[in-house]
Amino acid sequence: MSREEIRTKFRSIEYEGRFVFGGDFALLKDFLSKKDSTLWVPLQLLDALLRGFGQATCANNPISGLLVVIALGVASPGLLVLSIATGLLGLLLSILIREPSESVENGLTVFNPLLVGALAYAFVPKMYGPFDAFSLLLLFFSTIFSVYLTRSAGSGKLPSLTFPYVVVELMLLFILKEHNGGFQYIETSMQNITINNGTRSVTMDDTSTIVGKGDAVSPDWGMIFRGVVTSASQVYGVDDVALGSVVYLALIIYSPITTAFSFAGALIGSLLGLELDISYEIIYSGVWGFNGLLTGAALGGNFLIINKHASIATVVAIAFTTILQYIIYIILNKYQLPYLSMPFVISTWLFLCLAKSREDTFIFSSIQSYPEKQKYEFLHRQRMGRMREVDDESETF
């Protein structure tokens, strides 16, 4: 090992030391991965489960996941129990079908199943009624489907994101809605829409309390900020300021860069909602901003190595997500179905294709980690490449 490589190694260790408990908490992950004894299995499963709760917002950190779990337990204990059950089922099944150990350890096989359970808890009682044997059986199979879809959708060059959860959740809700009297096609207008997302049902029939841009009442900017905060909690299907604040805290522990782009995504999405004449109440509840938040979290340094081009593309993608959400929202609401995180999935997939260009403008990260580390390692590889070129030239002469 050359002197420069040794210095670089020490700098890397120093950099990791600044993120001992932050980032992806590699110290704990490496420690647990070396333990082969069955005595460590419960802790390994717990680590993967907690990372799964964090991965719902692209935060691969067990401490972040633990904070989300505690906050969910306070805000909605029933939702937490059901999401843990489906998440654990998904985790065990992914181990059974021999998912790559890296995916299991990072919680990538957990967050889709747990979201299936979390959003089922939020939607099923509203669209079907109390859980019974039939709905629980469908939920069981939906969880299994999400695991296999995660494997198949993630086998290509693009990540599966929340695509498995979106597909199986819509299947679940469609079947249950049909068994509960079927669908009634609704002629949609911006003054007569009902949106169900998470634990809150926003009905826009009451124009005395719920108004849009076309009304005389101006938006409450304090409530707009509330919507930006609760956009984080709506990822789990809950409208709760405390939970949203904790989710942002969990994101900060994982990556300040991810937090900044997530907040920007929720803010831009909410402001564009005003321009699209979306009801204030929908924006205040965070329903309108959470897809923008997810797009910002995914593209803002996690899947694309952060640079000025990736930063601009992320902002553009957030705006695209919000406009696409508006279209999907109008279509699905006619059949009383939620759009979930569909706009986020479609937009992120489309913008990740930018990394396939021949130029190095947009760089897809081949090894997933937190944005700060990915940026550091990319610059290090560039620096080492230039040094090798100089050495080769000197040897030639």
* Residue 5: inside a domain: no
203 with 166, same domain?
no
The pLDDT, as a whole number, for residue 21 is 78
283 with 307, same domain?
yes
200 with 332, same domain?
yes
**Which pLDDT tens digit goes with each residue over 53-79?**
999 999 999 999 999 999 999 999 999
* Residue 130: inside a domain: yes
The pLDDT, as a whole number, for residue 305 is 86
**Which pLDDT tens digit goes with each residue over 365-383?**
766 778 888 777 777 666 7
**Confidence band of 333 (pLDDT split at 50, 70, 90):** confident
State how far the Cα of 108 lies from the Cα of 48, in Å rounded to an integer. Answer: 8
272 with 135, same domain?
no
88 with 223, same domain?
no
* Residue 90: inside a domain: yes
156 with 208, same domain?
no
Write down the mean pLDDT value for the chain: 84
129 with 207, same domain?
no
State how far the Cα of 88 lies from the Cα of 102, in Å rounded to an integer. Answer: 17
119 with 234, same domain?
no
* Residue 7: inside a domain: no
pTM for this entry: 0.84
Domain boundary (152, 179, 206) is at 179
Dihedral sign of CA atoms 92, 20, 250, 378 in order = negative
203 with 301, same domain?
yes
**Which residue's entry shows tokens 């230039």?**
386
**Which residue's entry shows tokens 């939020």?**
122
Range of the domain at 290: 194-380
The pLDDT, as a whole number, for residue 193 is 41
172 with 236, same domain?
no
* Residue 366: inside a domain: yes
State how far the Cα of 148 lies from the Cα of 154, in Å rounded to an integer. Answer: 10
The pLDDT, as a whole number, for residue 208 is 33
State how far the Cα of 301 lies from the Cα of 363, in Å rounded to an integer. Answer: 10
> What percent of the chain lies above the pLDDT cut of 90?
59
Q: Is the pLDDT of residue 82 over 50?
A: yes
**Confidence band of 348 (pLDDT split at 50, 70, 90):** very high
142 with 168, same domain?
yes
Token digits for 187?
């002629």
* Residue 396: inside a domain: no
Domain boundary (179, 203, 224) is at 179
Q: Is the pLDDT of residue 251 over 50?
A: yes
Q: Which of 60, 48, 122, 34 is nearest to 91 (CA)?
A: 48
* Residue 386: inside a domain: no
* Residue 159: inside a domain: yes
Q: Which of 71, 161, 159 is nearest to 115 (CA)?
A: 161
Specify the number of domains making up the chain: 2
Residue 370 sits in a domain whose CATH number is 1.10.3430.10
The pLDDT, as a whole number, for residue 194 is 42
The pLDDT, as a whole number, for residue 372 is 82
218 with 331, same domain?
yes
